[in-house]
Amino acid sequence: MIHEDGELSGNTAENSSAKSKTRCGTIAIIGRPNVGKSTLLNKILGEKLSITSAKPQTTRQQILGVKTQQNTQWIYLDTPGLHQQTEHRLSRTMVREAINSLAKVDVIGFVIEAGRWTAEDDAILQRLKQQEHPVILIVNKVDKIKDKARLLPFLKSCYEKMSFLAVIPLSAQKDDNVTALEKTIAEQLPFAEFVYPADQYTDRNQRFLAAEFIREKLMRSLYKELPYWLTVVIEEFNEEKKLIKISAVVLTERPGQKAIIIGKKGELLKKVGTEARLDMEQCFGKKVYLNLWVKVKAGWAEENND
């Protein structure tokens, strides 16, 4: 369950012991932007938690997703994409958050794109060699490689880069071999009591998810760099018995950007609102009334301190 106040209930890690019949641990999902980390987490959870788009850096904040099945509880951290170009303060904050998450986990899932090893992948690899947690190399998007003869040499070259716990080729989009990944991770989790109730799948509250659903639709509808110059703030969230009333504002940097987001005769903003509302209704299990508008607020992205 998602709790509106964001508070979690359940046993803490302090109650865990080697005698427990259950396994429970934390897994960081890391990788460069746009390799499919959020798509993979959504597929594993069977819920839409992390937003996705074709644009890099869609994920801005670390998101925790929980899956409980029989005697195992996986606690996944979906992190912002690690990248080398971090001139923007928002980007620096995102990268720092992703790196810091590595110290608190039991297993690391390093996601790359099948058939493509980049300088950014190599930079992440060097960081992983400096820590002691087991690392699983997740080779995603194998469905994009039409000539499968190319895949075997690529996987062989991956094995030579580091002593990975396992190298697992899969397609998160097609749900191909994702179960094998979950099994491999489960075998590495410590014997411990569950941290979260079995029916809870995230630590994020409904306000956060509502804002993310809106931002996803904006990311998908806008072009080039504009999505990186906006954010979404939930100003009102009132839940009634059969209805949730939400007022949200899109903050952007300049008046010209505001006009683009609204679109001709308000059509783009209306489309974004409708699509986001439908996602909210499916996630929250109630009818949603969404009031959405756009405001100009210069420098919003620089408000987070280094």
Q: Is 32 annotated as a binding residue?
A: yes
The ranges assigned to domains in the chain are 23-188, 203-296
Q: Is 78 annotated as a binding residue?
A: yes
23-188: which CATH number, 3.40.50.720, 3.10.290.10, 3.10.20.30, 3.40.50.300? 3.40.50.300
Instruction: Please state the CATH superfamily assignment of the domain spanning residues 203-296 in this structure.
Output: K homology (KH) domain (3.30.300.20)
Largest CA distance in the chain: 64
Q: Is 279 annotated as a binding residue?
A: no
- What's the pLDDT at 205? 85
Q: Is 175 annotated as a binding residue?
A: no
pLDDT at 6 over 60: no
Q: Is 199 annotated as a binding residue?
A: no
Q: Is 141 annotated as a binding residue?
A: yes
For 238-276, the pLDDT digits (tens) are: 999 899 999 999 998 888 888 888 989 999 999 999 999
pLDDT at 103 over 90: no
pLDDT band at residue 99 using 50, 70 and 90 as cut-offs: low
